[in-house]
Structure 1
Amino acid sequence: MGLGNCEVAVALLLFLSCSSSVYGDAGDTITPSQPIKDPEAIVSAGKKFELGFFSPVNSTYRYVGLWYSNISAETQVLWVANRNNPINDSSGMMTISEDGNLVVLNGQGEVLWSSNVSNGFYQSTAQLTDDGNLVLKAGLNGNLVWQSFQQPTDTYIPKMTLSSNARTGKKTLLMSWRSSSDPSVGNFSAGLNPLGIPEFFIWYNGHPFWRSGPWGGQNFIGIPGMYTSVYLEGFSVQEADDTFTLSLIRDPVFRATYVLTSHGKFIEQYWDYGKQGWEYTWEAPSTECDIYGKCGPFGSCGAQNSPICTCLKGFVAKNKDEWNKGIWTSGCVRMTSLQCDGIQNGSEVGKEDGFMKLEMMKVPTFAEYWSNPSSEQECKDECLMNCSCVAYSYYNGFGCMAWTGNLIDIQKFSEGGTDLNIRLAYTELVADNMRNREIIISLSVIVGAIAICICLFFSWKWMATHRERNLICEETLSSEAQDTIFDGNLPENIMEVKLEPVFKLQILETATNNFDISMKLGQGGFGAVYRGKLPDGQEIAVKRLSRTSGQGLEELMNEVVVISKLQHRNLVRLLGCCVEGEEMMLVYEYMPNKSLDAFLFDSLRKGQLDWKRRFHIINGICRGLLYLHRDSRLRIIHRDLKPSNILLDHELNPKISDFGIARISGGNEVNTTRVVGTFGFMSPEYLMEGRFSEKSDVFSFGVVLLEIVSGRRNAHFYSNENALSLIGFAWKLWNEGDIAALVDPAISDPCFQVEIFRCIHIGLLCVQELAKDRPAVSTIISMLNSEIVDLPTPKKPAFVERQSSLDTESITQSHKINSINNVTISDLKGR
């Protein structure tokens, strides 16, 4: 055999090993003639899920379970068939019985578990779908007669639904394992409670243990962080024929599960491909106050308080001795009777009852729901007219909730929640107002005196120690700087922005060995970046403004203000700043692997970025952008997304950096007369007309995505005519049906070809010429995750051909002013 034939044979063997070595000859179906025997398994058609035999940790018993195909069963089992009847040895089998049911048998032929469909049927088959659902089909038509999604164990996955019927009481529930080594039914269950407004409950042996608060139309009101979690905000609750159904309306970025643990925790987790482990993003209950009814009727729980339980205003402890001992379950009772009580018992009628507003609350359980009134005032009036109504809450976009009887499971949040209005007697409200007025007057006098003393002390100290220094980082932004940073769209909550801590110059000089050349990490438009170590051992990166740089105080203050409000795993963390004399510096967390371009375009290092790592980086950049555009308190347009501004930590997790020219936007398109950024990554509407929006960052992301897949710089040009940009080169190959020629040889692998080609397709969608044609970041995430299966055909991208003489490599920190459509273009940076 010649050398060429040898190479072909090796390539063929590698392909076969990738596609079949893991799964052998496993199909996705069980029939009477094709059972699975321990240790055999079946795998879904798309290789996403696997069904087979496993043993839990610290156990020799065998069970039939279902798990993600490329994640070990020892790490996470999603569903268990014979959870209450283990197999003692490895003689087990799953097959189709004579009556058409799916069964698990031991070596003696005893039925340990059955799908238990009562009506007999024939010619049935069981199939494992790519949704992770084991379905049983009967007859020639393949009618669905049973599915594992209807009998979940302890884990909820996308495409699964949990239902509850208000009329019959029938529920589809998650049931916890008894322990980590015993999958039999444990003490905890979880699902929807349909009484009144639907809520998600965890029960301990049938008794409420934790609840989510009412479903408010888009989220559960009692989960404060539901709007900030990429996964939690995808839930939906629907009603049909007295049945409420909970479902996940979109797949998460990574494989995500929601697990009810044997200890009663409901955990949200996703698989981190880089770390090869589960990352936990949310859990409930998370504090003592989350335990159902912790403070009893009319008691409010505050996790930050000591003691955590207090009676609502107008109420006192029902059993003071128990309350003082920290036993709060007996709760509180009303101090002053309501006017309605006086009317009912025939006593003298007083003035009308009123309401005390409590803000950011987890509202009580079992609310009644009236038809949606047109205003909060109507909600209040309806409650006043009903003597049984003791509290109401008006939730925007949902409507009016009201409660009668005892108010159970109230909690005070530090964020989120909603307003809760408690009904009190008129005399109680008047007395409370008088007490508040006295307290306010007393506190005003005390606080005023203290404030004067503090001001005098700090004024003296400042004059004594800082006469010669001008610490600009401690000053408030000038109105001119604010107009530049926010482009005229000043958010209401900008006054809440706190500037980062100020570092002394001497500390940073010591940390960087007086900015020694050996500590230098790189050079950017702002200036040099140095590695350093603080006295406590923390490693830092110090960005030092060069005196020859065109950037200065404006960019420094912009970055401090913007990034000080951002906290996300895929954004670099700013630790502080330093401004002394002519020195201006920013201090960041240290990223040991520098930036993405240091790997991507280095022939020796790019091999460390295999496709799984590159796909992980792509998803990380997307999560960071989604946070900037949608989930952060201030909506941010980065405006300079490129590989050199994507840093990598020690595990090669991506972190978006360099917010010097980022802008805070109200969510709409913004016009500017000062265009800054990097040629090759700026969208056409921004470069030519000064208009930027979230879709401008999407364009930049599309260029970055094509660079990651191809391993080529957008700054170079391709094709025989030497006149195409990377975008144009990709578009040419796309139209020629030769997109494989774009893929970096370092990641070219038949195992991942479909996923790689899909990313190129997404990249071309992102760089389309018109902003309205580009997908939003949330849509891109769904595309990457294959939730959106059929992608639209991309239209012709912008900048397909090389733009006249503008070579991005040669335009580095140019400060010439060019007039294009009355837009000033400055700081046209290179890479």
Structure 2
Amino acid sequence: MSSAGDSLNPGDTLNSSTYIVSTKGKFALGFFQRIESATQNSYLAISEIADQSSGFNLFVWFGSRVNPIVNNSSMLTLDNKGTLKVVHQGGDPILLFSPPQPNENTVATLLDSGNFILKEVHLNGSMKQDTLLPGMKLGVNYRTGQAWSLTSWLTEHIPVPGAFTLEWDPKGLELVIKQRGVVHWKSGVLRDNQFENISPHMTSMYEFNVVSNQDEQSFSFMYKNQSQKLQYWLLLSFGQLQNDVQVAIARADKCDGYNIDGGCQRWNQPVCRHHGDTLVLDRGHFVSEYDSSYYISDANLGFSDCEATCWGNCSCVAFNNLFENSTGCKFWTNISDFVANDWPDSEFVYILSTIKHSHSGKEKWIWIGTGITFAFVILACIVCYLRRKRKAVLQGKNKETDEETELLNLVSTDRSIDVNEVPNDRKKRPDVSIFSYECVVAATNNFSLESKLGEGGFGSVYMGTLLTGQKVAVKRLSRNSGQGIIEFKNELILISKLQHTNLVKLLGCCILKEERMLIYDGYMSPEYAMEGLFSIKSDVYSFGVLMLEIVSGRRNNNFHRADHVLNLVGYAWDLWKEGEGLELIDPTLGDSCNEYQVLRCIHVSLLCVEDDAIDRPTISNMLSMLTNDSSQLPLPKKPAFSIGRKTTVANISKKELEVYTVNGLSISDMDAR
């Protein structure tokens, strides 16, 4: 190996038989041929020098990926104007770098980090190599207009620029992977040396550096523990970003345009493709009297390009690469011609696998949406009535009606439901029972911690089971709540008048000395159960429970599981966490529903039943989520009143307790008692 030092000075040339070697002998720059390549093409490249006997084949940068040199006449030159280029016989010069203004003092140096620089300009970044070394930059140089990015190889063995790029987004301040310009994956914003969509275990070994000023916007990384071995990030030809020990940092190859897992992004899909459709590898033959295949004999198309082309063509049912070096594309248009087999001469092809879709499912979804909207209107009207009536009672503006007086007399009597009595056997006019203290104690297992759903300044709420098997929520008022017997009766009167199938139902009450309890059917929002607070988000909670009931075909309070106590909301949350949300769907829907839309409905429902009212969507946002499939949804948090719940603190913003007026309808705030 003949070395020309570690630098090129103005006027110097580097021919095919000499190399530039970094100061400590870690990297070499020259004209190389890949050992496993069947061609005689050579490339200007930077290779790691593992040892003298292993030769050069660990390439981290190519300066002429698109234009390989076909003979040994090539030379790398740095002229007196600071221009760096490759000249060779039989072809035009390959320009690597030209400064904005001529500079006769430019020197090109190969560093021990693997970077080849002219003063402060990183050629490796501007040339879009597939390997990111420690200290190398991604981003943009505002002074020179250069963009620093990674570009994958076309195939594993062909360094021609491929389909995928890794870039630093200067606006979003995050890493992005694109396929032919379409964003497939995002890292999320960098906070405290951690990206949202990259495993903390992975990022713990790096120190990240972001530069943001008038000269540049860039990202780079360094390893916390330096070692003798080469350390790098590599963008593979199929879109995966991995490190030097072949551990995946980002999986853009898992992004199908529908899912949003791990940083995956959604993009516009052909009308003929649906969520769940895939192109899967199979082996066999296409047999037909008339060939149903066609070709694209472009050697600059790799596997990912062929896959994307087939997916975007509604007539395509299968594809494969055309040439043995995994370039070019071959497509088929008749799936019935394919016969799967393991014959020695059979070929591997990627076959379109589709899921069943039904037009009646769309109609049923429209019917369900109409029913939900109608139920929501009823809920809104009832809640409005409740608030207006409650305010009038607190201000003493209305006298008690005959029904209210009868209920007061009923509460004042000694009649109560015994522990062994069926609670539905009660007086009809106010459809509310007076439960005995013993009955409530038995239902809540003596107010045990296992039955406790939550606690606030207003009191505690327990889950209970009556002798009939019915699930109830028991609000046990705190002795320090400040609520007297008159206020308690007033609340009982108001809620007892609002008996509707889609509204939280008051089953009864219990009064024993200073004990005051209300027994509900858990639609009850946590901020009202714990603190007696109404907000514009209280009806959102009830609506979320209602949607889960419609999707599952089950009532929240009549839901049972044999393994442990769990209501419908808790069951839906467990399935969602496990990625099994489809298990919640009513079996009677069968294949008639659109699974993606039903999963979106479940997703929105879980957002509506979140613990803190401030985290739930507004009514307008919720309706937008249901009607706009392209909008991204936030991840839901653990819902209120799910299994394992210990404490609840109502976190309602002050704005949500103010007076709202919509189309002349006034909704007033309610003060906790």
User: What's the TM-score, normalizing by structure 2?
Assistant: 0.39
Greater Rg by CA? 2
